[in-house]
Structure 1
Amino acid sequence: MRRFVRFVRLALIVTMLLAVAAVAEIAVYSVRSSDGPADAAVVLGAAVFGREPSPVFAERIRHAVDLYKAGKVRRIVMTGGLGGGDRVTEAEAARNWAVREGVPASDIVVENRSTTTFENLENAKPLLRENGLDSILVVSDPPHMRRSMMIAGRLGLNAEPSPTPTTRYVAWDSWLKFAIREAYFAQRCRWTTNC
């Protein structure tokens, strides 16, 4: 019985250490950033409220628009399909937001069928090829970057991370919840084909 109790304790300690290491990997990777130059910024989709991007999504779009206006990218690829109750797709809401900020519609590519991070990048891939866009900056929130870049690598994209510097996940508790979620999905992505 004593051996069994020791084994259970050891298993719990190892599990906790692995969980902490996974979250630490997300934290370390979240500060890696490139500001180009690249052919395009690919903005990963997020929630839309009615016709407008959520505050989290708006910050992703803002970062891509800033990269565009600074001449770091020549095109922006907006991704994301229609969520339940939305009136427009995530990509369309993002395009409309960027156009209001002065980005010409002709410099925005829209991928509006995806519902997951994997689909965002998978569906963007043929659009990148069709538009002659080889190198990309993947734009999302810092805790989301590790898994996003794992997916980009799996898809063979010539990608660099460009997390938004104005993330809405600034409070410790909201950042930690997002990081724990991303640590779980990153580990799942590492060991399975389901990212």
Structure 2
Amino acid sequence: MPKKSLVLILLVVMSALLVAISSTAMSIYSYGNNTHNLKADAAIVLGAAVWGEEPSPVFRERINHAVNLYKNGDVKQMIFTGGVGDKDEPAEAIVGKNYAIQQGVKTADILTETQSRTTRQNLNNAGEIASLHQLTKCLIVSDPLHLKRAVWMARDLGMDAYPSPTPTTRYRSLQSQIPFLMRETYFYFVYLIFKI
């Protein structure tokens, strides 16, 4: 094959790859920025880092959003997910539960799973808890850019799941959104290919 033809094929392949990555990134961005006012049985709050006994700013905003859903009557229960990141810290789910109780959520309306370390584990474990408690329709609460992959995973796990993006996400500036979007685009492709 002539060198010129090989270069042309390589350019076409690279262009197609760039278009695929760009369109996926745009779909992730727009998916998380569409809000739906849905009522559900539970809000599944995806875990995030904790700072000692307190939720990190990212996790706190996820919890605040779930608390608002609960107080507005959009959900009846909350399921907090997330295990132990640093061995000296409590599980993310326990920190989330404690914070929600401080915001006025009834202890009886909070469920937790403390074993997960990844988004897929968060959702799998939360799905088992939801099923056990006969909670069928769930809102997935996370940062907007995280939701397309998370909801897709939840549905692949057989859940009746819908996105509920955190409106006060800490990822508001372009400087913080671009790295998050690049990371999510990568993990979205990994999930589509390997289902992990």
Q: Which interval holds the TM-score relative to the shorter structure?
A: over 0.9
What is the CA distance between 1:34 and its match in structure 2?
A: 2.6
Q: Which runs of 4+ in 1 moved over 4 A?
A: none
- Residue of structure 2 equivalent to 1:31: 33
Establish whether residue 47 from structure 1 lines up as the match of residue 88 from structure 2.
Answer: no
In structure 2, the CA distance between the partners of 1:53 and 1:89, relative to structure 1 (3 Å rule), is: same
Give, in whole Å, the separation in 2 of the partners of 1:192 and 1:33: 29
Shift of residue 104, structure 1, vs aligned partner: 1.1
Displacement after TM superposition at 1:76 (Å): 0.5
**1:10 and 2:18 equivalent?**
no
Q: Structure 2: which 5+ residue stretches go unaligned?
A: none
Which structure 2 residues correspond to residues 102-113 of structure 1 after superposition, within 5 A?
102-113=104-115
1:121-169 deviation line (CA, Å, top 9, x unaligned): 1001121122221111000000001000110110110111101100000
Aligned pair partner of 2:179 in 177, 180, 186? 177
Whole-Å separation in 1 of the counterparts to 2:54 and 2:136: 29
Matches within 5 A, 1:3-152: 3-152=5-154
1:29-53 CA-to-partner distances (Å, cap 9, x unmatched) read 1123233211100000111111111
Match of 1:8, SS?
helix
* Percentage identity across paired residues of the two chains: 41
**Matching residue of 1:157:** 159
Provide the rounded CA distance (Å) in 2 between the counterparts of 1:108 and 1:86: 24
In structure 1, stretches of 5+ residues that fail to align are none
TM-score by length of 1: 0.95
Letter in 2 for 1:90: E
